[in-house]
Amino acid sequence: MANYKKVSVADNARTELHDILGLTGAEISINELPAGAGVPFVHAHKQNEEIYAVTEGKGKAVIDGEEIALKAGDWLRVSPSAKRQFSASADSGIKYICIQVKENSLECYTADDAVIE
């Protein structure tokens, strides 16, 4: 069995990678909202923080009632208990990646975890 898995994903409105890649420590989704569209619900989490990377377009996040403008190149970390909702701007769609991990679960960083051979 290989120690890696490579996949290509279609250009869908939402793709979750946990099953496709067999992820065991994170959930990653690729998301796209057309201009004027938004996620139709507000949500929070019990344990998982979310890290958002905006790859294209612009929009906004409303987090605990505060509106945060988003554009390509922006990164955003959201605590588990924060109530959040995302939408594209009226004149531009938005594409973003969401990485979901258990808050406070990182035990060491790349350099400390690396094994140099």
From the list 59, 53, 56, the residue with the least C-alpha distance to 36 is 59
Position 110 in a domain: no
* pLDDT, tens only, 9-61: 877 888 889 888 989 999 999 999 999 999 999 999 999 999 999 999 999 99
Position 112 in a domain: no
User: What mean pLDDT value characterizes the chain?
Assistant: 93
Q: Per the structure, how many domains does the chain have? A: 1
Give the C-alpha distances (Å, rounded to integers) separating 41 from 3, 37, 84, 110: 37, 12, 9, 35
Position 117 in a domain: no
Position 42 in a domain: yes
Q: How confident is the model at residue 77 (pLDDT cuts 50, 70, 90)?
A: very high
pLDDT at 85: 97
Q: Are 76 and 17 in contact (CB under 8 A)?
A: no
Q: How confident is the model at residue 112 (pLDDT cuts 50, 70, 90)?
A: confident
From the list 83, 79, 86, 85, the residue with the least C-alpha distance to 101 is 79
* Boundaries of domain holding 67: 14-104
Position 4 in a domain: no
